[in-house]
Amino acid sequence: MEIKKIGVVGAGQMGAGIAQVAAASGLDAWICDISDDFIQKGLDGIRKNLDRMVTKEKITADEANAIMNRLHKAPGLGDLAEVDFVVEAATENEKLKLEIFEKLDKITEPHVILASNTSSISITRIAAATSRPDKVIGMHFMNPVPIMKLVEIIRGLATSDQTVEATVTLSEFLGKTCTQSKDFPGFLVNRILMPMINEAFTALYEGIGSPEDIDNGMKLGTNQPMGPLALADLIGLDTCLAVMRVLHEGLGDSKYRPCPLLIQYVDAKWLGRKTGQGVYNYQK
Ligand code: NAD
């Protein structure tokens, strides 16, 4: 099946990034969120990214306009009735995702693949909310989507070989490289990454070092492009906490217990870059 029209659910940092990459690769993308304000915010962010690329002479102004023209607003999920493929990138909350997939299953054509960009939620459970579990898959893009090369493909218990093949083909068409993971809590990347971020919060909580010491130590000492606390601010502390909770509950091992400081920051709505305050302040 040829994929020309893609639906993206959620216009946050990941959804907007996925829509940008799809449109830059020549696909038409319909973006859906809970209000027009959120969709517009996503589109404004994409425009800003593209303008920056024009300034750096990576693309021309005409190319940027053509990409924007391939992006369309979908005020409701019903507006995704005619797309060929859906990537869901709404907030990391299982109940919400189950509701979205149940609706997408009724709205889209029966052959359409429904992918989730979830960081940690069971693809098998999401798939069971639909009547097409063979066509539900995890398509885990990394942040920021236009820059990061990886898409982690997660196969639910019932996901078919054809669905895996079509999703890998689409990811490669978008310029990405795929790895595959079985459907267990956190999959592969976050199973390894999030405990490191949680441990960095624990080191901060215990006063072992300042945020700068922790981040510079890991950056310069282990050759990471950014320290774990700065990375947590980029990902979103709410998303980090949601993933730790999935690991903790799903694997039942106390080593995945979310750090109390991470919980407190999320309670305070210190979610990182997206709210202007996380471990670091971004308001200036
Ligand atoms: P975000 O908070 O930036 O955006 C989430 C968006 O989903 C918001 O705009 C919100 O309004 C929207 N939304 C909520 N309910 C909705 C609904 N019913 N219908 C449509 N839209 C709805 O979050 P994000 O960082 O973009 O994360 C989105 C997903 O991507 C999550 O599942 C997350 O785990 C995953 N993810 C995040 C990262 C990361 O680094 N942030 C990386 C990989 C995967």
140 is catalytic: yes
Structure tokens at 202: 């624990």
pTM score over 0.75:
yes
Q: Which residue CA neighbors atom 13 of ligand 1 most closely?
A: 90
- Residue to mutate, 116, 179, 239, 243, ligand 1, most ligand atoms under 8 Å from C-beta: 239
**How far, in Å, is the centroid of ligand 1 from the Cα of 14?**
6
**How far, in Å, is the centroid of ligand 1 from the Cα of 206?**
30
Question: With bands split at pLDDT 50, 70 and 90, how would you rate the model's confidence at 284?
Answer: confident
Query: CA separation (Å) from 112 to 1, 7, 115, 125, 272?
Result: 9, 11, 10, 18, 35
Give dist(CA 200, CA 212) in Å, integer.
Answer: 11
Give dist(CA 264, CA 281) in Å, integer.
Answer: 16
Rounded to 5 degrees, φ, ψ at 109 are: -60, 145
Q: Residue 216's Cα: distance from chain center in Å?
A: 26
Which pLDDT tens digit goes with each residue over 42-60?
999 999 999 999 999 999 9
**How far, in Å, is the centroid of ligand 1 from the Cα of 11?**
7
Q: Which of 116, 171, 181, 190 is catalytic?
A: 190
Give dist(CA 123, CA 138) in Å, integer.
Answer: 6
190 is catalytic: yes
Q: Which of 140, 171, 181, 198 is catalytic?
A: 140
Which pLDDT tens digit goes with each residue over 22-35?
999 999 999 999 99
Ligand 1 site, CB within 6 A: 9-15, 32-34, 38, 89-92, 96, 100, 117-119, 140-143, 235-236, 239, 274
Amino acid at 219: K
Residue 215, CB half-sphere, CA atoms under 13 Å: how many? 14
pLDDT at 1: 66
Which pLDDT tens digit goes with each residue over 208-257?
999 999 999 999 999 999 999 999 999 999 999 999 999 999 999 999 99
Cβ–Cβ contacts within 10 Å for residue 104, how many?
A: 24
Which pLDDT tens digit goes with each residue over 93-138?
999 999 999 999 999 999 999 999 999 899 999 999 999 999 999 9
Burial zone of 95 (CB within 10 Å; 0-12 exposed, 13-18 middle, 19+ buried)? exposed
- Write out the DSSP string of 34-54: SSHHHHHHHHHHHHHHHHHHH
Amino acid at 246: V
152 is catalytic: yes
pLDDT at 249: 96
Burial zone of 199 (CB within 10 Å; 0-12 exposed, 13-18 middle, 19+ buried)? middle
Q: What domains can you pick out in the chain, each with its CATH number?
A: 5-182 (3.40.50.720), 192-275 (1.10.1040.10)
